[in-house]
């Protein structure tokens, strides 16, 4: 027994001293799964136009240019004889599903939901102004005094220069009498308003609000946000005495017609994100 125990102890010591055999493991090449490419969801020009219109509604509501009332539209990007505007809904609540297509005479395309009564403003502006791609109608309180008095609304702040040097005033009573409710509820009234606008960008509506046009949506929204700001500044300035307005050269030198300019998109992006619709921005704005 003693001899067997000695042999086992000696074997263990030998095993400890013996160098461990290297096990040559065969390298197996594990192929990594190819990284998944991010597939961008393609959004058509038409779909993005509707998204932009939702963004515009939300921005105008957030900036108090419109409240429960007022509306903004965009000309159909593929058919100049049509335009998009929301169904009758407060701008703060508008979604892509609420956007309705109309002909220029105010008839909805395949949609029976209640429309805005004053959709005729938009159709008439697009009909009279082929250069226009966006229209707004709003009741911003600060602009109202200038449609009720002989004091003209003119630009005094650089951000409002896009409104143009001249802002005409339309009085519905001039052609349609003093028995209306001051609303533009038919095509004839819309065309008369558009005629008063002429080649300007803003027209005031006596006791009602204003309508405005622009070649691009970002330009329209920027102009509309700063229009009541300009009106408030002008009202305060008139209390102090002589006012120095922007010159025609200063107004025309703004160069605000490029919607892709970094400064233009900076404001558009910020407003959209603050209004909670940043996810609707075009890819290049995110």
The catalytic residues are 118
CB of 192 closer than 8 Å to CB of 282: no
CB of 161 closer than 8 Å to CB of 154: no
Residue found by looking up tokens 């407060």 in the block: 90
214 bridge partner residues = 134
CB of 223 closer than 8 Å to CB of 162: yes
Which of the 8 DSSP states describes residue 115? P
Buried-exposed string 195-225: b where 16+ CB fall within 10 A, e elsewhere: ebbeeebbbbbeebbbbbbbbbbbbbbbbbb
Tell how far CA 219 is from the center of its chain. 9
CB of 60 closer than 8 Å to CB of 221: yes
CA distance 106 to 83: 9
Per DSSP, helices labelled H in the chain are 2-17, 45-62, 119-128, 144-148, 173-176, 187-197, 217-240, 248-252, 262-274
Instruction: Give the number of other Cβ atoms within 10 Å of residue 183's Cβ.
Output: 14
Instruction: Give the number of other Cβ atoms within 10 Å of residue 131's Cβ.
Output: 8
86 bridge partner residues = 99
CA distance 86 to 95: 8
**What is the largest distance, in Å, between two alpha-carbon atoms of the chain?**
131
């Amino acid at each position: 027994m003693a001899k067997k125990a000695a042999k086992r102890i000696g074997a263990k010591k030998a095993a400890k001293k013996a160098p461990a055999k290297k096990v040559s493991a065969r390298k197996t090449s594990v192929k990594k799964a190819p990284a998944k490419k991010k597939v961008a969801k393609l959004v058509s020009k038409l779909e993005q136009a509707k998204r932009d219109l939702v963004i515009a509604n939300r921005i105008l509501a957030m900036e108090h240019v419109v409240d429960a009332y007022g509306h903004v539209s965009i000309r159909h990007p593929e058919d100049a004889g049509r335009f998009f505007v929301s169904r009758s809904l407060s701008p703060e609540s508008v979604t892509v599903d609420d956007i309705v297509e109309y002909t220029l005479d105010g008839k909805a395309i395949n949609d029976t939901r209640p429309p805005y009564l004053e959709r005729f403003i938009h159709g008439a502006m697009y009909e009279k102004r082929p250069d226009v791609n966006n229209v707004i109608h709003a009741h911003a309180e600060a602009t109202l005094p200038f449609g009720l008095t002989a004091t003209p609304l003119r630009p005094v702040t650089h951000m409002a220069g896009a409104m143009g040097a001249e802002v005409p005033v339309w009085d519905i009573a001039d052609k349609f009498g003093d028995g209306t409710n001051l609303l533009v509820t038919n095509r004839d009234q819309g065309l008369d308003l558009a005629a008063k606008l002429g080649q300007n960008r803003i027209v005031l509506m006596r006791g009602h609000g204003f309508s405005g046009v622009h070649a691009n949506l970002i330009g329209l929204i920027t102009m509309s946000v700063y229009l009541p700001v300009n009106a408030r500044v002008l009202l305060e300035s008139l209390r102090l005495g002589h006012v120095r307005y922007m010159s025609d050269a200063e107004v025309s030198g703004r160069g605000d017609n490029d919607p892709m300019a970094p400064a233009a998109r900076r404001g558009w992006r910020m407003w959209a994100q603050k209004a909670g619709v940043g996810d609707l921005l075009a890819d290049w704005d995110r």
